[in-house]
Amino acid sequence: MKFTRITVNPHQMGGVPCIRGLRIPVATVVSMVADGMTEEEILAAYPDLAPEDIHEALRYAAEAVRERELPLTVP
């Protein structure tokens, strides 16, 4: 899978994945979705984003989780 809207620059934001070279981390966008914000609310909060940025951030996060195991608490 190729990500054209996600950039990683070691000299920007500590090298965390960001949207299109902007100082908007993928994690921030994914967290906003997880917190229940609508696409319209996210775009209002970050006018430099496009709907495609949000969609690709979610695909990137899904792929990142697929690549490794995360510690889970078993009830």
pLDDT in tens, 30-41: 999 999 999 999
Q: Do the domain assignments include residue 72? A: no
List, for residues 8-30, the tens digit of each pLDDT value: 999 999 999 999 999 999 999 99
Q: Residue 72: what pLDDT?
A: 67
Closest by CA position to 18, among listed 33, 35, 3: 3
Domain with residue 52: its CATH number is 1.10.10.10
Q: Tell me the torsion sign for CA atoms 27, 53, 20, 60.
A: positive
Q: Do the domain assignments include residue 60? A: yes
Q: Which domain holds residue 30?
A: 6-66
Q: Do the domain assignments include residue 75? A: no
Q: What's the pTM?
A: 0.86
Amino acid identity at 57: A
List, for residues 38-71, the tens digit of each pLDDT value: 999 999 999 999 999 999 999 999 998 886 766 6
Q: Do the domain assignments include residue 74? A: no
Q: Do the domain assignments include residue 71? A: no
- Measured between its terminal Cα atoms, the distance across the chain in Å is 34
74 CB-near residues (< 8 Å, 6+ apart):
none
- CA 60/CA 69 separation, integer angstroms: 16
